[in-house]
Amino acid sequence: MTEKRVKKLLVTGAAGGIGRTIRTMLEPVAETLRLSDRAGLGEAAAHEEIIYCELTDKDAVEALVAGCDGIVHLGGQSVEADWQTVRDSNIEGLYNLYEAARIHQVKRILFASSNHVIGYYPQSQLLDAQTPPRPDGLYGVSKAFGEALASLYHDKFGIETAIVRIGSCFPEPVDHRMLATWLHAEDFVSLIECMFEASRLGCPIIYGVSDNDVVWWDNRQVAYLGWKPKHSSAIFKQILDEKMERPHKDAAVSVYQGGVFTEHPIMQRDEK
């Protein structure tokens, strides 16, 4: 980026795994980073603001968004859970965020969706931005809701959203499935830069994945953003082959894009 297009960027879920990883990488994106989570954000750097907030608190979320001109929404429940937990964080909380964005006229958002929105598709099928959801759990259902909500607020209010179906944003792949789903943190940050630099964003579905040799997802329909991931999981293939056996070809982790998430039961709150 040659200049910082965003004056104040809100990053929700900044204490989570992805948020912690990209926090120091985001300084070139905005003049000020407003970091938010329930807890655990430590000390603010000179270019940072820290505001603790519960996404279910509508008034607190409205105050959180005030003064921002861009949002990277990583907040919410990040794995499968009981319905009440998923509903509160990922449905009620997301609605509060988009309403706050409407009220304060924030026009560009990155919504961290998930590969678990399409988890029941077979690994043999190449998916693109037009592929409809086939969620593999309640978490995936909540992300499908988020994609629909982003579409509504784009059509009705002109709020542009990069809907990013994130694969596996880890320092390195931890199993063979991640050879297809791995997203390097630097590639994710470059996507964030591209979405704020673009003269036109719209409301595209983007698969958050690096330039891996194993390909399940096709991003050609969003080529206009100019995003070109530079990293590949290929360098980890031999390491994984030596470290662990490949799963059986009929195992869920070998058949479905969502892997073992397709095997998870519907969790009840008293099972937590």
Query: In this structure, what token pair is assigned to residue 84?
Result: 């009440």
SS3 content of the chain, % helix, strand, coil (to 5): 40, 20, 40
**Residue 148, C-beta contacts closer than 8 angstroms, at least 6 positions apart:** none
Tens of pLDDT, residue by residue over 58-98, are: 999 999 999 999 999 999 999 999 999 999 999 999 999 99
Residue 43 lies in a domain: yes
> Would you tell me the crossing angle of helices 93-103 and 138-157 to the nearest 10 degrees?
20
pLDDT for res 1: 45
- The one-character DSSP state at 231 is -
Domain span at 219: 6-271
Residue 30 in any domain: the answer is yes
Assign residue 133 the CATH number of its domain. 3.40.50.720
Give CA–CA dist 203/75, Å, rounded: 19
Asked, for residue 1, whether it belongs to a domain, the answer is no
Question: Each residue's pLDDT tens digit in the chain (272 positions)?
Answer: 446 789 999 999 999 999 999 999 999 999 999 999 999 999 999 999 999 999 999 999 999 999 999 999 999 999 999 999 999 999 999 999 999 999 999 999 999 999 999 999 999 999 999 999 999 999 999 999 999 999 999 999 999 999 999 999 999 999 999 999 999 999 999 999 999 999 999 999 999 999 999 999 999 999 999 999 999 999 999 999 999 999 999 999 999 999 999 999 999 987 65
Q: How many residues does the chain have?
A: 272
**Phi and psi angles of residue 235, each rounded to the nearest 5 degrees, phi first:** -70, -15
- Amino acid, single-letter form, for residue 2: T
- Asked if 98 is an active-site residue, the reply is no
Q: How many CB atoms lie within 10 A of CB 226?
A: 11
CB 113 within 8 A of CB 188: no
Count of CB atoms situated within 10 Å of the CB of 252: 18
> In the chain, which ranges are E strands?
6-12, 30-37, 48-52, 70-73, 108-114, 160-166, 205-208
CB distance 233 to 223 below 8 Å:
no
Within 29-113, residue ranges assigned H as helices are: 58-65, 83-86, 93-103
State the total domains in the chain: 1
Q: Is residue 175 part of a domain?
A: yes
Catalytic residue among 139, 153, 207, 256: 139
Q: Are 142 and 91 in contact (CB under 8 A)?
A: yes
Q: Which residues pair with 12 in a beta bridge?
A: 36, 73
Residue 105 lies in a domain: yes
Residue 103 pLDDT: 98
**Maximum Cα–Cα distance across the chain:** 54
- Positive or negative CA dihedral for 75, 119, 196, 156? negative
